[in-house]
Amino acid sequence: MQIAILLYDGVVALDAVGPYDVLKLMPGADVRLVAATAGPVRTDGPLSLVADAAIDEVARPDIVVVPGGPGAVAASRDERLLAWLRAAHEHTQITASVCWGSELLGAAGLLDGVQATTHWLVHDELARHGAIGVDERVVASGRIMTSAGVSAGIDMALRLVATTAGEDVARRIQLILEYAPEPPFAGAGSAATADQAVVAQMRAGYARSRG
């Protein structure tokens, strides 16, 4: 099973690497990091990831995962990436996104009428693409699977494994990774349960950054 994880400048590393570390353990998985051109791709920080192949070399993957990040807006205007997503989606078992990777799926026209989720800061923007926003960490809608911010990508990848290879395989992978989150600050990781003054400040900051 060929799995393509799409990279672009400004991607969040964990959005790509979290699902990668899950999916590479699925029996028969051939995981490729792909980009417009093969080679190093700069994340939203000093770290670079390396694309093994250009998108043209991976034309019909069984699964596509699109990570998010602040570079998603620019990437969503790259018609080469969008054309590849549309063409690949015609043949995928599942086309998935993490966080703001939903922006690329939406720009490619893959979210129209689809239930979807994304990072809480940009959740309202799903409607621009005709998506039906759902406030969940992972949402499966037909062959589209979307997930909320960063860490939810690991949850999504485990769900994806369960869907394609069976729940027993997914459970074993979760155990191998010792994925049993116990965050140090109860409630702080969700906009619904975090300090609402902090949530409001972050929303205001995001609004200012968008002009």
Same domain, yes or no: 123 and 176: yes
Residue 124 has a CB neighbour count (10 Å cut-off) of 10
Coil, strand or helix at 101? helix
Same domain, yes or no: 92 and 144: yes
Same domain, yes or no: 107 and 198: no
Q: Which of 99, 116, 140, 156 is labelled catalytic? A: 99
User: Can you give the CATH number for the domain in which 101 is found?
Assistant: 3.40.50.880
At residue 189, does pLDDT exceed 80? Answer: yes
- The DSSP letter of residue 53 is E
Same domain, yes or no: 165 and 204: no
Cβ(94)–Cβ(145) below 8 Å:
yes
- Residue 5 β-bridge partners: 33, 65
Same domain, yes or no: 203 and 140: no
- pLDDT, one tens digit per residue, over 89-104 is 999 999 999 999 999 9
- Tally of domains in the chain: 2
Please give the pLDDT value at position 206.
86
Q: How far apart, in whole angstroms, are the C-alpha atoms of residue 98 and residue 145?
A: 9
Same domain, yes or no: 194 and 130: no
Q: Which two tokens stand for residue 29?
A: 């998985």
Same domain, yes or no: 176 and 188: no
Same domain, yes or no: 136 and 174: yes
Q: Which residues span the domain enclosing 207? A: 184-211
pLDDT band with cut points at 50, 70 and 90 for residue 211 = confident
Same domain, yes or no: 118 and 92: yes
pLDDT band with cut points at 50, 70 and 90 for residue 146 = very high
* 0.95 surpassed by pTM: yes
- pLDDT, one tens digit per residue, over 19-33 is 999 999 999 999 999
Same domain, yes or no: 190 and 135: no
β-strands 132-133, 115-116: how paired?
parallel
Same domain, yes or no: 21 and 98: yes
Same domain, yes or no: 31 and 80: yes
Coil, strand or helix at 40? strand
Is 201 known to be catalytic? no
Rg (CA), the chain: 16
